């Protein structure tokens, strides 16, 4: 009997040990919403630069490689994160290997909050001072390019001759008796995505009284909410959707360049231009390298690369916008660049956020489905 008890205890300890072995690697694995790209130096490694960004790596690759041409001994590590995770990581302490040297984000409100709360370093340079006043704030946050918030449609699912060119045209299409967009129109989900929330609040502010009727029509057409632009554009490119509203132009142009049957529309009535911003965190391990990269980002050379390769509208006024936008921008009546500053913190107020999301959810229906894709 004693031998049996000993054998049972030994078995239990073995199971427990195996459990610990199984759990430990799971805790050590990188989170699923992080994608890391490492760009090896061209010469023996002399320095390191860690970038945390919300752009997918493909949009930043050309700029990083150009920086390494000028600084061939620098290894660059780029972590692609969603904007909320990027912000959360900046708040919590971590070892040097987990901290970023530069934060690059399209959630301009969260970036501004980091600056306002003392989590950023000041950086003063000729490149920063050359930006328009609305593209920098307190010498701590800098707009390095602007994303047009666009409509995108599938040219095989929606006749280009009938595609909307502005929001009035979109409303007419949504209200057509034959309901061509029923269940086939997509929007970003502000409940689950920080950047989607920022875009939605800024769009509502821009449209004023026109925001509520448009949102109500999305609800009537059973619009599909998505957390990630990539997932939304996958479904649109596959023809499962016909039209998407509130998408960054750069993501759509990436797909179009690869042959997706998509068409981009920059709304002619009002065009929201959201800043992609950069800041150096207070505890950046390689702050000097971050300063050099930031200056490259803001230089005419860097701005030209971002326009050509990342489809961003440059922050510098004398650099031409991407070729794909030029004809479309000429037809836009009111391009609106979101200015940096304390005004961006308004919708981060807990009460305002709760009220905004309550109204959004009510318009799309109390049973609006959850986001169609999880975080990375």
pLDDT digits (tens, 9 = 90+) for 3-42: 434 444 343 333 333 333 222 222 223 444 678 999 999 9
The reply to whether 6 falls in a domain is no
DSSP 346: G
Note whether 197 and 60 are same-domain residues.
no
Note whether 279 and 358 are same-domain residues.
no
pLDDT-derived band at 227 (thresholds 50, 70, 90) equals confident
Note whether 246 and 349 are same-domain residues.
yes
The reply to whether 7 falls in a domain is no
Percentage above 90 pLDDT, the chain: 80
The confidence score (pLDDT) of residue 189 equals 95
Residues paired with residue 75 on neighbouring β-strands, in sequence order: 48
CATH of the domain at 280: 3.40.190.10
Note whether 232 and 194 are same-domain residues.
yes
Q: Number of structural domains, the chain?
A: 2
Pull the structure tokens for residue 1: 């009997």
Range of the domain at 153: 147-273+334-364
The reply to whether 174 falls in a domain is yes
Note whether 44 and 126 are same-domain residues.
yes
Question: What mean pLDDT is reported for the chain?
Answer: 88
Q: How many CB atoms lie within 10 A of CB 248?
A: 25
The reply to whether 8 falls in a domain is no
| Residue 180: alpha-carbon gap to chain centroid | 29
The confidence score (pLDDT) of residue 15 equals 33
Whether the Cβ atoms of residue 89 and residue 61 lie closer than 8 Å to each other: no
Distances (CA, A) of 35 to 49, 63, 78, 103, 202: 16, 18, 8, 15, 28
Whether the Cβ atoms of residue 308 and residue 344 lie closer than 8 Å to each other: no
The reply to whether 106 falls in a domain is yes
* 372, pLDDT greater than 80: no
Note whether 126 and 69 are same-domain residues.
yes
Note whether 56 and 125 are same-domain residues.
yes
Residues paired with residue 336 on neighbouring β-strands, in sequence order: 272
Per DSSP bridges, beta strands 271-281 and 102-105 are antiparallel
- Measure the CA–CA gap between 180 and 221, rounded to whole angstroms: 9
Residues paired with residue 245 on neighbouring β-strands, in sequence order: 151, 187
């Amino acid at each position: 009997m004693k031998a049996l008890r000993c054998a049972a205890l030994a078995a239990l300890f073995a199971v427990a040990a195996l459990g610990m072995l199984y759990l430990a690697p799971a805790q050590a694995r990188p989170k699923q919403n992080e994608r890391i790209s490492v760009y090896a130096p061209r010469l023996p490694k002399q320095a390191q630069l860690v970038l945390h960004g919300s752009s997918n790596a493909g949009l930043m690759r050309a700029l990083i490689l150009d920086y390494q041409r000028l600084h061939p001994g620098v290894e660059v590590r780029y972590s692609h994160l969603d904007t909320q995770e990027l912000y959360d990581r900046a708040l919590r302490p971590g070892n040097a290997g987990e901290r970023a040297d530069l934060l690059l984000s399209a959630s301009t409100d969260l970036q501004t909050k980091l600056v306002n709360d003392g989590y950023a370093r000041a950086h003063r340079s000729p490149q920063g001072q050359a930006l328009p006043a609305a593209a920098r704030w307190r010498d701590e946050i800098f707009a390095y390019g602007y994303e047009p918030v666009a409509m995108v449609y599938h040219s095989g699912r929606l006749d280009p001759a009938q595609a909307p060119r502005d929001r009035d045209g979109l409303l007419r299409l949504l209200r057509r008796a034959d309901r061509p967009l029923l269940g086939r129109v997509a929007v970003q989900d502000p409940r689950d995505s920080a950047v989607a929330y920022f875009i939605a609040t800024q769009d509502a502010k821009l449209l004023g009284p026109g925001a509520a009727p448009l949102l109500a029509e999305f609800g009537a057409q059973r619009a599909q909410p998505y957390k990630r632009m990539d997932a939304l554009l996958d479904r649109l490119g596959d023809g499962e959707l016909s039209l998407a509203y509130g998408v960054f132009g750069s993501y759509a142009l990436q797909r179009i360049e690869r042959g997706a049957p998509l068409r981009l529309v920059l709304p002619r009535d009002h065009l929201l231009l959201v800043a992609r911003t950069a800041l150096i965190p207070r505890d950046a391990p390689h702050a000097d390298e971050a300063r050099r990269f930031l200056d490259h980002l803001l230089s005419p050379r860097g701005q030209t690369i971002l326009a050509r390769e990342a489809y961003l509208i440059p922050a510098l006024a004398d650099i031409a916008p991407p070729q794909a936008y030029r004809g479309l921008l000429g037809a836009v009546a009111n391009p609106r660049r979101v200015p940096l500053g304390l005004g961006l913190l308004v919708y981060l107020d807990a009460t305002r956020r709760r009220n905004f999301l309550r109204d959004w959810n009510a318009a799309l229906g109390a049973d609006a489905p959850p986001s169609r894709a999880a975080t990375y």
